[in-house]
Amino acid sequence: MENKQFPQRFLWGSATSAHQVEGGLHNDWTEWEEKNAERLAGEAEKKFSHLAIWPNIKAQAQDPQNYISGRACDHYNRYEEDFDIAQSLGHTAHRFSIEWSRIEPREGEFDEKEIEHYRNVVRALRARGMEPFVTLWHWTQPTWIADIGGWENKRTVEYFLRFIKKIAHEFKNEVTFFIVLNEPNIYTAFGFIKGSHPPGIKNILKAKKVYLNLCDAQKRAYKIIHSVHPRAQVGIANSFMHFEEKNRLFFNVFIKDTVEYFWNFWFLNKIKNDLDFIGCNYYSRYLVGFGNETVKTGDMSDLGWEIFPKGIYFILKRLKKYKKPMYVTENGIADAQDKQRKNFIIDHLMWMHEAIEEGVDVRGYFHWSLLDNFEFPEVRGFWPRFGLVEVDYETMERKIRPSAQVYAKICKTNSLLPDSNF
């Protein structure tokens, strides 16, 4: 492999979300965790015993404590130490979320102390030469929002926009990049169709209502942020999956096209005129349709997700038609032993580079995640290990994984060096 250089001023970093790393929260998810931890521990064997990693995680996955986010990584108190690590690894940007339930714990009461906390977070990043990318909603809400029916209720949109306006005012001199929503498609599918994470509903009509409300919120937030902060760059981080049909049966191609449209493009098409950039969260390929698989699949992560690096290229190429700058706002792997992460990173970046070479305007890459954390979708808890940095949840000690050093070389040289250099 020859040296592959990335564009000048390309941003390199990693991503987290408040609920997954901060600790000490009280929101609709923490309440749901308390009520469902026993059940989730009881279901672990059925859900995870097919995974190669099962013998190593069995005890943890069957322990109800695994499903309580609790003090998480204590990042709320340790963010400076964590940002020191990110800086030492050559990161030039960092994505994190501001937790609505901290800022507005009771309706209409904004907590100035917590606003100050996040101001300090932003300043800590800037002091270390990292550009902050602020997510404004990463799935959690204050309990008073859940009490009025959460995103099923139109009033939630109005409350959310009031929160957005407050944040835009407070941070207009400190933050340029705002990601309004994180993965509304995953939140809605698992929360309102499969019912496997909060609020645990299985009702397609409610799902539709929630999705439309989120869509409305994203569009209107764009206008509100720009009215307060004209120089802001406002985007979304959506989950994009690479879909393929299991085999070439005619009907399967139709199914694949339909699923792909609704998962990857429906929401984006609705909001595309109110968007400065697209955030692409990419993890894996999914085979859909009927009959036996004729597609040969590759290696799997600890979570059983297929490692399919070329998928990031296919997705980025398909997003080119929107003619917006793009950031890969998440891409990562659950790999407790850090055996696959190095190649995962190199191979995905190689394909991302290929897309850039072919004219796709990608301006940054955020690895998921800086730290091991509380794995969010379907509340899998602490056993999946996504971190560049390992966290010992007993002592809170941080240990940089070898793959993080490989990624650091890429960040520091702004290039993928020939194989021999890694």
Q: Whole-number minimum distance, CB 37 to ligand IFM, in Å?
A: 18
Q: Please tell me the count of residues contacting ligand IFM according to CB under 6 A.
A: 9
Q: Whole-number minimum distance, CB 183 to ligand IFM, in Å?
A: 6
Rule CB under 6 A: is residue 335 a binding residue for ligand IFM?
A: no
Rule CB under 6 A: is residue 376 a binding residue for ligand IFM?
A: yes
Rule CB under 6 A: is residue 302 a binding residue for ligand IFM?
A: no
Which of 391/416 has CB closer to ligand IFM? Answer: 391
Q: Is residue 312 a contact partner of residue 334, using CB atoms and an 8 Å limit?
A: no
Contacts of 290 (CB under 8 A, 6+ apart): 246, 249, 251, 252, 255
Which of 342/380 has CB closer to ligand IFM? Answer: 380
One symbol per residue from 240 to 279: x for binding ligand IFM (CB under 6 A), - otherwise; what is it? ----------------------------------------
One symbol per residue from 62 to 101: x for binding ligand IFM (CB under 6 A), - otherwise; what is it? ----------------------------------------
Which of 6/308 has CB closer to ligand IFM? Answer: 308
Whole-angstrom Cα distance, residue 132 to residue 178? 9
One symbol per residue from 137 to 176: x for binding ligand IFM (CB under 6 A), - otherwise; what is it? ----------------------------------------
List 183, 260, 302, 335, residue binding ligand IFM (CB under 6 A): 183
Interaction with ligand IFM in 122-141: which residues (CB under 6 A)?
A: none
Rule CB under 6 A: is residue 377 a binding residue for ligand IFM?
A: yes
Rule CB under 6 A: is residue 330 a binding residue for ligand IFM?
A: yes
Which of 33/183 has CB closer to ligand IFM? Answer: 183
Scanning 42-50, 154-162, 204-212, 375-383 for contacts with ligand IFM by CB under 6 A, the matching segment is 375-383
Rule CB under 6 A: is residue 29 a binding residue for ligand IFM?
A: no
Rule CB under 6 A: is residue 308 a binding residue for ligand IFM?
A: no
Q: Whole-number minimum distance, CB 215 to ligand IFM, in Å?
A: 19
Q: Whole-number minimum distance, CB 3 to ligand IFM, in Å?
A: 31
- Whole-angstrom CA distances from 1 to 4, 79, 358, 402, 412 are 8, 37, 18, 21, 19
Which of 168/180 has CB closer to ligand IFM? Answer: 180
Which of 168/210 has CB closer to ligand IFM? Answer: 210
Residue 270 buriedness (CB in 10 A; 0-12 / 13-18 / 19+): middle
3-state secondary structure the chain: CCCEECCCCCEEEEECCHHHHCCCCCCHHHHHHHHHHHHHHHHHHHHHCCCCCHHHHHHHHCCHHHHCCCCCCCHHHHHHHHHHHHHHCCCCEEEEECCHHHHCCECCECCHHHHHHHHHHHHHHHHCCCEEEEECCCCCCCHHHHHCCHHHCHHHHHHHHHHHHHHHHHHCCCCCEEEEEECHHHHHHHHHHCCCCCCCCCCHHHHHHHHHHHHHHHHHHHHHHHHHCCCCEEEEEEEEEEEEECCCCHHHHHHHHHHHHHHHHHHHHHHCCCCCEEEEEEEEEEEECCCCCCCCCCCECCCCCECCCHHHHHHHHHHHHHCCCEEEEECCCCCCCCCCHHHHHHHHHHHHHHHHHCCCCEEEEEEECCECCCECCCCCECCCCCCCEEECCCCCCEEECHHHHHHHHHHHHCEECCHHHC
Q: Whole-number minimum distance, CB 376 to ligand IFM, in Å?
A: 4
List 313, 356, 375, 403, residue binding ligand IFM (CB under 6 A): 375
Position 218, amino acid = Q
Scanning 38-46, 145-153, 200-208, 374-382 for contacts with ligand IFM by CB under 6 A, the matching segment is 374-382
Rule CB under 6 A: is residue 14 a binding residue for ligand IFM?
A: no
Burial 44-79 (b: 16+ CB within 10 A, else e): beeebeebebeeebeeebebbebbbbebbbbbbebb
Which of 17/233 has CB closer to ligand IFM? Answer: 17
Rule CB under 6 A: is residue 17 a binding residue for ligand IFM?
A: yes
Scanning 152-160, 172-180, 372-380, 412-420 for contacts with ligand IFM by CB under 6 A, the matching segment is 372-380
Q: Is residue 218 a contact partner of residue 176, using CB atoms and an 8 Å limit?
A: no
Q: Give the residue closest to ligand IFM by C-beta.
A: 376
List 79, 211, 368, 383, residue binding ligand IFM (CB under 6 A): 368
Which of 222/368 has CB closer to ligand IFM? Answer: 368
Instruction: List residues binding ligand IFM (CB under 6 A).
Output: 17, 20, 183, 281, 330, 368, 375-377
